[in-house]
Structure 1
């Protein structure tokens, strides 16, 4: 039988790709509009000013992070002990219920801040189980030489859906507010069914007989002891935590650029458009040399562009800067995801993916909280400038403290391990 030369030649991978696309399209539309609805409800129904309503957006990030923090070890363990398809499908089913309730509450004009916070927390709990399970599936259905390309193609699914979801959702919301949430519920249900069509996957690892708590602790200790993994994961955590401008996009859309929900959808889509363009290039011409240094430069560039976005008062220029932010972030994400997956043994991949997912979620949700709090103190522009400068500072510190990151030159597993241990 001829060996595949592309992940798309593998039927299981095609179904995995489609399931990922449908889920991301749905959740991105739902989450972006949820943030806009929270800001709108806070301003209109509760009579809050810009600073107070911005702080509510920060709290929204916090209520999503709490279940993520509490359930991450359990999610990683589930991805290592059970059929990863079932874990991902169950989580998508929970998210579908969240979207359906949000559609109903919007239709009935019954939204309140407590309801929105509750639904956001449920979404955060569901998402943490999706991430580790889906990340750990790809290495099991494609051969190792195709894994970097499979990750790039998977990123395309994520980024294209991230472009289309908010943009389409924003346009539909402007006409019929409940409809985009109903569409999200249907797509999440479809993703749940699609992932179940992938062949059964059961992780085989040497810790199978260990008690669950011991396995969780083992995964945390493994990441802590492996400086290379720790550096990769925490770089993203702290850099994006500080440069979390996306949390304040509803403020820019409503009260600074005056472009409404349609403009917000385009603003949330712009980074994903830039990222999808880079992911498409990387799927055909993946990076091969000096990958660690390129990852560090990409994170620093993300911080610099965040500062530029803070001062823009042109909608077109803001969209261009956001697209550039997505492009450089995609370079960082592609390199970091590939390095983490290739460096980690399969028996620990679910737990390490969960910890990595926690870092990504913390950088997003806690970044939203940091942005909301900073905006209440420094103003919207000052908060975004502070975050961008912080991301640049973190990159400089990590380049010095984790020299293993600078030494990573390739994606070849054996060569990578020699490079970072030198």
Structure 2
């Protein structure tokens, strides 16, 4: 049990994890409120509108990842995080004020979603790579997994609280609460900037390779990294667009309100926490493990799509959340462990851009499927893509085996 939480031995990581949890809690308050604002007030039950919001939030990360990853390797990550957190706080504050004053329109939300996405494109590579600055290499997999536990614990609690708060106040006030949740994170990274001895200084990109394209070149020369990214991109096309199909099914099939939508997101988060804890207690991830997880994800999608009752739907969502988290956390840890410290920011930028870029492309597709055929067809597409991810992994392993056999025969 102690091994599962071994990275918490670092005081600095404990401070980081606590501030990240508060920030993540606020993020899920806003996500739930924002989704409900779009589908219930601004778009008349249109899932495609939520898909467009997803696209605008995530497409900047796909476009900007080469530059933002380079920046995360080149400048002080703590100072970069302070700037991005301050800007994210400003976007949330703007949206919250517009919503409270009842002046917000769908176009306002689209614009702020795009600005948010641009800032996050700079924030996420630095945030992921920063973990390697405050924990040792031996504890990195565990720290990455506990980061995921923090994120998904907030995802478990945040939407449920948001549902109650939306029913009792309004979406605008909930979004303003997220703006305030950035304060602990700002204090944390400011402290790290001032107390520079607390981190294991990352090697500056001014020493050695310093090209923006190095992240792509580095990954392309390592087949297992390419395979891992191909597998996770298949899973994330529909898996990470859960806000789209859950909101559609909640409104159009189960005829629920904000509280019930929060419940559905929280049930998926229960599985996500389980998956993150499992990853924290397991050894370093491999492609073989990802194949097993992709298969389980396909089965989970099929079970959710076939669940008729509300309670069976909730139970199968736990299984879906667990398999989705196992895949994304395993790939995240695999990419960090397998990359040289000099390239870590750029490698993580590429990895994150693949995950979130797949989500961006999948958002409008999932929204269209929900509007035209129903949310269950979108989840069924996830089962098909999970099978494709599994096939990619199996083909890669079989080729690796053939290569090893050929080398042995040549030596013989």
C-alpha change, 1:404 and 1:230, in structure 2 (3 Å) is: farther
Aligned-partner Cα distance in 2 for 1:134–1:374: 33
User: Over residues 22-63 of structure 1, what are the superposed CA-to-partner deviations in whole Å (9 max), with x where a residue is unaligned?
Assistant: 22211222123212211123444xxxxx5xx12222222221
Alpha-carbon shift at residue 191 of structure 1 (Å): 1.3
Match of 1:341 among 316, 333, 336: 336
Alpha-carbon shift at residue 321 of structure 1 (Å): 1.3
Alpha-carbon shift at residue 368 of structure 1 (Å): 1.4
Match of 1:233 among 229, 235, 242: 229
Contact kept? 2:65, 2:350, Cα under 8 Å: yes
Alignment-derived partner of residue 121 in structure 2: 128
Aligned-partner Cα distance in 1 for 2:205–2:378: 47
Match of 1:264 among 261, 266, 274: 261
Aligned residues: 391
Alpha-carbon shift at residue 174 of structure 1 (Å): 1.3
Alpha-carbon shift at residue 402 of structure 1 (Å): 5.6
Does 2:356 align with 1:361?
Answer: yes
Alpha-carbon shift at residue 75 of structure 1 (Å): 1.5
3-state SS of paired residue (1:259): coil
User: Over residues 101-148 of structure 1, what are the superposed CA-to-partner deviations in whole Å (9 max), with x where a residue is unaligned?
Assistant: 121111111221101111211221222222111111122221222222
3-state SS of paired residue (2:103): coil
Alignment-derived partner of residue 55 in structure 2: 62
Alpha-carbon shift at residue 388 of structure 1 (Å): 2.0
Does 2:214 align with 1:218?
Answer: yes
3-state SS of paired residue (1:257): coil
Alignment-derived partner of residue 366 in structure 2: 371
User: Over residues 342-378 of structure 1, what are the superposed CA-to-partner deviations in whole Å (9 max), with x where a residue is unaligned?
Assistant: 1100000000111111112123222212201233443
Query: Residues 174-323 of structure 1 correspond to what in structure 2 (within 5 A)?
Result: 174-177=167-170, 178-198=172-192, 199-200=195-196, 202-205=201-204, 207-208=206-207, 215-243=211-239, 244-283=241-280, 286-288=281-283, 291-323=286-318
Q: TM-score under structure 2 normalisation? A: 0.88
User: Over residues 188-221 of structure 1, what are the superposed CA-to-partner deviations in whole Å (9 max), with x where a residue is unaligned?
Assistant: 13212222223435531455476xxx62112111
Alignment-derived partner of residue 8 in structure 1: 8
Aligned-partner Cα distance in 1 for 2:87–2:383: 35
Alpha-carbon shift at residue 289 of structure 1 (Å): 7.5
3-state SS of paired residue (2:271): helix
User: Over residues 307-337 of structure 1, what are the superposed CA-to-partner deviations in whole Å (9 max), with x where a residue is unaligned?
Assistant: 2222323222222111111112232233222
C-alpha change, 1:399 and 1:246, in structure 2 (3 Å) is: farther
Aligned-partner Cα distance in 2 for 1:156–1:267: 18
Aligned-partner Cα distance in 2 for 1:348–1:218: 7
Aligned-partner Cα distance in 2 for 1:167–1:22: 15
Name structure 2 gaps, 5 residues minimum. Answer: 403-412
Contact kept? 1:19, 1:195, Cα under 8 Å: no
Q: TM-score under structure 1 normalisation? A: 0.86
